[in-house]
Each structure stands twice: as structure tokens, then as C-alpha cells.
Amino acid sequence: MTSAGRVIVVAVALSLAQWVQPLYAGEAIRVGVMDQQLVMERTKAGKLALEEVKGYSMTRQKIIHADEQELKDLDQSLQDPNAKLTDQARQEKEEQLRSKMEAYQRRLQEFNREVQQKQREMVAEYARKIAAAAQAVAQKDGYTAIFDKGNEALIRIVLYHQPGLDVTESVIREFDRQNP
């Protein structure tokens, strides 16, 4: 979820909390927090998905490294003082290097887009699954709301919470139960 999306979710949750309080006057509102990233990293299906994206990325990286090596070799053959190339042969090699460099840059951009798309799709899919597990935990254990703590890399949604409010482990167990 993007940082703007998270801000919207928090704003909506806070707005809803204002309306919920009068409805439950006298009843305690039970709130929990969880770490979505930790749920992703510690669930069986999450680990598999992360490994799949990593493998996908590594495969692309190997191709890029091979292209880089080919470009280096071609460049070195042009720089080699012992190479006795005619002007035409040198010009052909330089054109070949330019052409391969352009193809390399296009491939690099394409692979980056593919990997980013795969990551976005995986995050979206698992965000839905994590939300379903969190909802099940909330309903089973009587929570009015469960917030994602966020993380330092994006945006920290929950600035402070008592450790007893953390339901991450319960969400992990429920996620694994729902996604064998």
C-alpha cells in the first residue's frame, strides 16, 4: 500500500472511530496493531511468494550480467592496442557496441518494469489476504479495529502502542490457516 493510501486508511479509520464511540457508549473499544511486513515474511505462503519474486528477479539479473559482460568484452576488444583493426572493422565494432548498449538499456528498463510489476501484484494479493486474516482475528477476539504499525521505510502509522496490543502473531497463525 502506498504511503498516500495508508494515510487515507488512517484518516478513514479515525473518522469512523468518531462515529463508533457514540454507538458503543459505555463499551470499551478494543484496538490491535500488527506488522504487515512481518506477516508477509513469517507466513508459509508469504515466504514462498517472496522467494518466487526473488527468483524471478535473480533470473533477470543473470541475463543482465551476461549482457554486461558481453558489452565489456566488446569494449575491451575495441580498446586493445594489439588488435589490428581496419577502420571499417573498427567502425563496425563501434556500431555493434552502440547497438548492443541500446538493447541492453532497453532490456534493463523492461526487466525493472517486470520485476516492479510482479512485486506490486504480489503485495496487492497478499495485502488482501492479510486483511482477511486480520478481520478474522478481529471478529474472533473482539477487536473494533486492527491497525498496521507501518515501518520506517515507508510511513509509520502507529507511533506508539503497548506491546499487549500487538496481534501480529495471531494474524500470522490465521493467515497460515486460511492460506495453507
pLDDT digits (tens, 9 = 90+) for 59-114: 999 999 999 999 999 888 888 877 777 888 888 888 999 999 999 999 999 999 99
pLDDT at 9 over 80: no
What is the DSSP-derived secondary structure letter of residue 150?
B
Please report, for the chain, how many H helices and E strands are present, in that order. 5, 2
CATH of the domain at 153: 3.30.910.20
Residue pair 149/39 in contact (Cβ under 8 Å)? The answer is no
How many Å apart are CA 98 and CA 1, to the nearest integer?
40
pLDDT digits (tens, 9 = 90+) for 11-45: 444 444 444 445 455 577 899 999 999 999 999 99
Say what the pTM is: 0.69
Identify which of 139-143, 152-156, 158-162 has the greatest average pLDDT: 139-143
Domain residues for the domain of 74 are 3-178
Total domains in the chain come to: 1
Grid coordinates of 56 = 524471478
- 166 in helix, strand or coil? strand
Phi, psi of 23, deg, nearest 5? -70, -30
- 167 in helix, strand or coil? coil
As a whole number, the mean pLDDT across the chain is 84
Q: Which residues pair with 166 in a beta bridge?
A: 33
